[in-house]
A and B are shown apart, each in its own frame.
Chain A
Amino acid sequence: MTSAKLSILLFCSLLFFGEQSFANNTNPQFNFDDNYEGEEISHESHQAIYDPFEVVNRKVFAFNELLDKKVALPVIRQYRKHIPERVRTSVTNLVNNLSAPFSVVNSLIQGDGQNAMASFSSFLINSTVGVVGLFDVAGDKKIKYNEEDFGQSLGKYGSKAGPYLVIPFLGPSNVRDFSGFAAEKIISPLAFNSFEVGNKRDLISDELAISLSLVNGISIRDSLIEVVDDIRRNSFDPYSTMRSAYLQRRESLILNK
């Protein structure tokens, strides 16, 4: 697919999803009267959990949990044991820097010029002075930005989360966020790369693309180790805790709270 066709497709999907107004940014209201009987939160942007595929999702969740305990956690343990902290920080910086251009584009889609500028500056500084992103020089200089992805852009334009999904190997998501994720992977020069640059599509080798994805996965899982551990230890139903936490987190990222 040529880049022009893909751009049109993305634009149309944005229009399709964006038929509703911008996401509302108000805080929930609570009832503190003595006669309060546990009623729902009154909150315009509060969405009830919609999980029509719960039976399948729970099975995938169980599969992911097993995979996580048997494969991912041992890898992370070795990663933490053998790789010094400063190197791990550099890996996280590198992965974050590679995703910065997406934040630039999505900030522009969302009309957030300030964040677009901040993420662009960060990418420029870290890719050069920060040695291809290994050092977060921009962050040290207090250039901070919110990471924005296509799922958030869709949400900003009023697209509802849709059914909750648990994706094999990847974890919690929903129709909106997974569509955004897939769209980014399709156009990303570091993933499937559907853009043709100078009649060339294979900007990087498949091996490098897979390695980057794995490093990205390890880095993300590493950052979540305490949170997931806490849920596993304390929750009466880890599936619903993870679901609620994921959906709330995504809503707050869309609203940039």
Chain B
Amino acid sequence: MSKIISSIFVFLFCISPSFADETKEVRNFVNTLGNKIIAVASDNGLKVNQRRDRLTNIIDEVVDTNWISKFVLGKHYRVATDSQKEKFRKLYHDFMVNTYGPKFNGYNGEKFTITNVINDNNYYTAKCIFYPKNGEPDINIDFRVRKNTTSNQPQFLIFDVVAEGVSLIETQRSEFGTVISKDGLDNFMIDLQERIKKLKNEAVQPQSAKISSVKKK
């Protein structure tokens, strides 16, 4: 009996530091990423389009668009042909980086703190609070992070952002699912293509200029 207990203890001692280390690594990853985004977003030395491109690149490196593209297709993924899957994967990637990269462009250096990092079996949740500058209520945002071990250099990837309890990927899955059920995947991909074109055009006429003019009203 004592042997069993001691072996359990040995096992726990072996395993817990690795969990603790990885939790720390996730914290560092999210912290570094957040600071990098804030630094670029509030760098007034950069032109609007330069800022936008840099932010898009940062998002591109850390967001797991390959996996998310499967998740958001949901039940429609299994019935899609290989060429449809591949086409959607590429379109979704462009859609994500061009939608969410520029979103940070108007971000004016508000700070954030990571309150906790939780190990949820095969992924981590980094719980963060963002503090807007103008006295608006704090915003709770969770970043869901996983370690991609399939590549030669294992890296952390963000596969979901949960703002005030609302998961980005679950919402997109629901939204895309409704449209695909109604119009079919091919038609949806045409819409997606149009949207990406529009988003890229907005890069030439930056959205942040529009946002600041709305706020001034």
Within 8 A of A (CB), among B147-188: 150, 159, 164-167, 170-171, 174-179, 188
What's the least CB distance linking B127 to chain A, in Å? 9
B36 at the binding interface (Cβ < 8 Å): no
What's the least CB distance linking B203 to chain A, in Å? 15
Which one, B75, B122, B175, contacts A241 given CB within 8 A?
B175
Which one, B67, B74, B134, B188, contacts A40 given CB within 8 A?
B74
Within 8 A of B (CB), among A222-241: 234-237, 239-241
Interface pairs (10), CB distance under 8 Å: A37-B78, A38-B71, A38-B73, A77-B217, A80-B217, A85-B134, A236-B176, A236-B179, A237-B179, A244-B171
| A37 and B70 contact, CB distance less than 8 A | yes
What's the least CB distance linking A79 to chain B, in Å? 12
Q: A29-B120, A237-B175, A251-B165 are in contact. List 10 more A-B contacts (CB 8 A).
A: A30-B146, A32-B146, A37-B78, A38-B74, A239-B178, A241-B174, A241-B175, A244-B166, A245-B171, A248-B165
With known contacts A249-B164, A251-B165, A38–B174 Cβ distance under 8 A: no
| B165 and A234 contact, CB distance less than 8 A | no
What's the least CB distance linking B78 to chain A, in Å? 5
What is the 8 Å Cβ interface bit string for chain A, positions 18-37, against chain B (1 contact, 0 not)? 00000000010110101011
What's the least CB distance linking B199 to chain A, in Å? 9
B112 at the binding interface (Cβ < 8 Å): no
B131 at the binding interface (Cβ < 8 Å): no
Report the interface size for chain B: residues with CB under 8 A from the other chain: 37
Contacts of A245 in B (CB 8 A): 166, 171
Contacts of B176 in A (CB 8 A): 236
A187 at the binding interface (Cβ < 8 Å): no
What's the least CB distance linking A77 to chain B, in Å? 7
What's the least CB distance linking A38 to chain B, in Å? 3
| A38 and B77 contact, CB distance less than 8 A | yes
With known contacts A237-B175, A244-B174, A38–B78 Cβ distance under 8 A: yes
B125 at the binding interface (Cβ < 8 Å): yes
Which one, B73, B77, B78, B122, contacts A32 given CB within 8 A?
B122
Contacts of A252 in B (CB 8 A): 164-166
| A29 and B99 contact, CB distance less than 8 A | no
| B165 and A249 contact, CB distance less than 8 A | yes
What's the least CB distance linking A221 to chain B, in Å? 15
What's the least CB distance linking B113 to chain A, in Å? 15
A89 at the binding interface (Cβ < 8 Å): yes
B191 at the binding interface (Cβ < 8 Å): yes
| A30 and B123 contact, CB distance less than 8 A | yes
| B150 and A34 contact, CB distance less than 8 A | yes
Q: Which residue of A lies closest to B123 (CB)?
A: A30
User: In the complex the two chains form, what is the Cα distance from A240 to B122 in whole Å?
Assistant: 29
User: In the complex the two chains form, what is the Cα distance from A63 to B174 in whole Å?
Assistant: 22
Q: Which residue of B lies closest to A43 (CB)?
A: B170
What's the least CB distance linking A48 to chain B, in Å? 10
B135 at the binding interface (Cβ < 8 Å): yes
Contacts of A234 in B (CB 8 A): 99
| A257 and B165 contact, CB distance less than 8 A | yes
Q: Which residue of A lies closest to B176 (CB)?
A: A236
Q: Which residue of B lies closest to A86 (CB)?
A: B135
